[in-house]
A = this chain, B = another copy of it.
Amino acid sequence: MTAGRASVKDVALRAGVSVGTVSNVLNRPDAVTERTREKVEQAMAELNFHRNASARQLRAGVSHTVGVIVMDVGNPFYTELARGIEDRLATVDHTLILCSSDDDPVREERFLKLFAEQGVRGVLVTPMSSTAPRLGDLRRLGIPSVLMDSSRNTQHPSVGVDHISGGRQAITHLLAQGHRRILYLAGPSDLQQTRHRLRGAIEAIQAAGLDAGDVLQVTNLPSLSANEGQRGLIEALDGPGPRPTAIFAMNDIVALGAMRELRVRGLSIPSDMAVVGYDDLYFAAELMTPLSSVRQPMRQLGWAAADLLLTDQPHDLFEPELIVRASSDFAR
């Protein structure tokens, strides 16, 4: 067994055929006699042959991998999303490269550059504000892309969840519970999710005949971690103005941090402060106070994103659903 990998040439030599025939066995088995094919296949087995993906792609010009950039792989929301993507890609024998931008444009750029160099089949991104122009560069290279978790957007193919509806559902619920002063622990204001949920919140408040400025207090967090959620809440509680009676958190991780701070201060949930999260992660129901949360169809979202990319379709939009638990409802 020689060191290093065997090439088609080695296989051809051993099987006593030409390289073209080996390639045919690999790519169009029908165009080859049964006997020849068996000889070649045996030679491949004996040499432990693996086709060289670089050479293959260089010549063929097409790749079988898709690049995926999510905001934070540590957040189960995004890994579920990735699973949905992977499921769809597996149906056409493609694979994915999963990267985490960590909300950092530099990292995002690094990965997009990597994808361009790799010549991936396509790119799926949960976009940040700086994303769009770079995607144009990719398209010019012939690499299509789909935005994920972005609402319908005529500029670019995208899948998303109707976060306006999500925000509306959450706030409508909190208003119905009697809350009139609500803290929105939001993400960066340049995130579309942040803005859409805000819009939904405002719609809900206005629909109730109230003034959004009176009811809603917004704190934009630079990143969506538990620590940031806690810090954001501290800032809001220690700041001037009346204390809110309810929190609408950008996601369950942020809600987790906020609830931690509430516990530190001895504030009880939901009597002193109600909390509604977003994403409905698998542990939401098991937290110290079971967390109300706006559920997103994570896997479907991923599947749809990959599907759009592969079938070259423009948009897909899903509907979120509020799950009410004890953190925002006395009765539970």
Contact = CB atoms under 8 A, between A and B. Distances in A.
A303 to B, nearest CB: 16
Contacts of A4: 141-142
Interface string A273-290: 000000000110111111
Contacts of A79: 73-74, 79
Contacts of A226: 282
Interface of A: 1, 3-5, 48, 50-58, 73-74, 76, 79-80, 82-83, 86, 95, 97-100, 111, 113-114, 116-119, 137, 140-142, 226, 256, 259-260, 282-283, 285-290
Nearest to A282: B226
Contact of A113 (B50, B55, B74, B114): B50
Given A141-B4, A142-B4, A286 B74 contact: no
Contact of A58 (B55, B95, B256, B282): B55
In order of increasing CB-CB distance, the 4 nearest A-B pairs are A54-B58, A53-B117, A50-B116, A54-B57
A48 B86 CA distance: 30
Contact of A117 (B52, B260, B285): B52
Contacts of A50: 113, 116-117, 141
A54 B3 contact: no
A5 B119 contact: yes
Contact of A141 (B5, B54, B55, B290): B5
Nearest to A116: B50
A113 B53 CA distance: 11
Nearest to A284: B283
A284 to B, nearest CB: 10
Nearest to A82: B73
A36 B249 CA distance: 55
Contacts of A53: 54, 117-119
Given A73-B82, A95-B111, A288-B290, 15 more contacts: A3-B140, A3-B142, A5-B142, A52-B58, A53-B118, A54-B55, A73-B98, A74-B76, A74-B79, A83-B100, A95-B97, A95-B99, A259-B286, A260-B286, A288-B288
